[in-house]
Every structure is written in C-alpha cells, then in structure tokens.
C-alpha cells in the first residue's frame, strides 16, 4: 500500500492575523470582520469616486486572505474586485459622486 505524503492545509477559517486595511497610491480596501464586509475605493479617479462593497458573506475570510496575498503597490481597485469575484464573492460597484 502506497502512503500519501502529508501536506499541510492552510487555515482559511479566519483572518485574525491579517491586516484589516490594504492601501497604496491607487486604492484603499478595508475589511470589517464584525460586519462581514469588505469596502474599497479608487484613489486615482477624483471625478466619479468609484467604490465597491461586498454583498456575499460566506467565504469572505478566505477571500480576504487571497486578496492580502495578491495586493501590492500596483494593485488597483478593479483588480481587487476581480480577486474577490474570483473567490466567488458578490460585489457591488458604484460611483460615490453620483
């Protein structure tokens, strides 16, 4: 009988050890664990002030971990939205200036 190697499965159940705010010159994204919501805004578009918030609650801690892992100084708001959408999180985007 062949033994399968032991692999460690990362704990995706919570995001307690992760930052609650991700920011760079392009966008700012905030995670609110008590409200089970992620909100973000685009800092490059001053006229329309694009923003987003999550509508899904299930899987949000795991999606936040993925977003933290992929966020860097070049990440824009719409890339963050795509990452969360890839993690099956429903997103609502809007323009705050309207």
**In the structure, how many helices (H) and strands (E) does the chain have?**
2, 5
The CA-atom distances, in angstroms, between 32 and each of 4, 5, 21, 70, 98 are 39, 37, 9, 19, 25
The domain locations on the chain are 21-95
The CA-atom distances, in angstroms, between 84 and each of 8, 11, 46 are 24, 18, 24
| pLDDT at residue 7 in the model | 40
Q: Give the residue among 69, 63, 18, 10 at the shortest CA–CA distance from 38.
A: 63
User: Could you list the pLDDT tens digit for every one of the 98 residues in the chain?
Assistant: 444 444 433 444 554 588 999 999 999 999 999 999 999 999 999 889 999 999 999 999 999 999 999 999 999 999 999 999 999 999 999 998 85
Enter the pTM of the model: 0.80
């Amino acid at each position: 009988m062949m033994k399968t190697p032991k692999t460690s499965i990362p704990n995706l159940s919570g995001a307690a050890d992760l930052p609650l705010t991700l920011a760079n010159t392009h966008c700012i994204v905030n995670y609110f664990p008590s409200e089970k919501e992620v909100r973000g805004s685009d800092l490059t578009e001053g006229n329309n002030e694009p923003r987003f918030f999550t509508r899904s609650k299930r899987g949000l801690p795991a999606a936040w971990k993925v977003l933290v892992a992929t966020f860097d100084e070049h990440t824009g708001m719409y890339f963050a939205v795509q990452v969360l959408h890839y993690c099956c999180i429903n997103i609502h985007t809007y323009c705050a200036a309207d």
